[in-house]
Amino acid sequence: MCENRATIVAYRTGSEDKRAGCKYFGFKAKILSERKTNALVAVHHAGVAIGVEPPVEYAFDFTSADIDAHVDDGGMTQIGLGEGKLKEGILFIEMKKAKTLGLEARKQPPACGMDFPTRQTG
């Protein structure tokens, strides 16, 4: 069984949401330290078993469009700042930002659920 499935979230253009037109990719991550709206986060490479490659550490501004909003705020990100929020879980990073950090999406074998069926219309 594959636990490291790839998940992508895309927001439609044309809305006033700061995430409009952005695509986010989910990564396993852990907040190492936090200060106000910023946090130093260890982000694991997608599609790689934890411990195989060291995580990438980066300071994120949790109010920027570089990461998707927390689940409590209508987004998909599980980890958050402040008391009562998870410090380890999935962090959705905007795909262009992820690439600049060397965190590109890795292809998953079909057995990991990435072979989605197509729907025929008409």
pLDDT tens digit string along 72-114? 988 889 999 999 999 999 999 998 999 999 886 555 555 444 4
* pTM score over 0.85: no
Burial-class residue 116 by CB neighbours within 10 Å (0-12, 13-18, 19+).
Answer: exposed
Pairing mode of beta strands 56-61, 38-43: antiparallel
pLDDT tens digit string along 29-45? 999 999 999 999 999 98
Q: Helix, strand, or coil here: 72? A: helix
**pLDDT value at position 6?**
53
Task: Kindly give, in sequence order, each residue whose CB lies less than 8 Å from that of residue 96, ignoring residues fewer than 6 positions away.
Answer: none
**pLDDT value at position 104?**
64
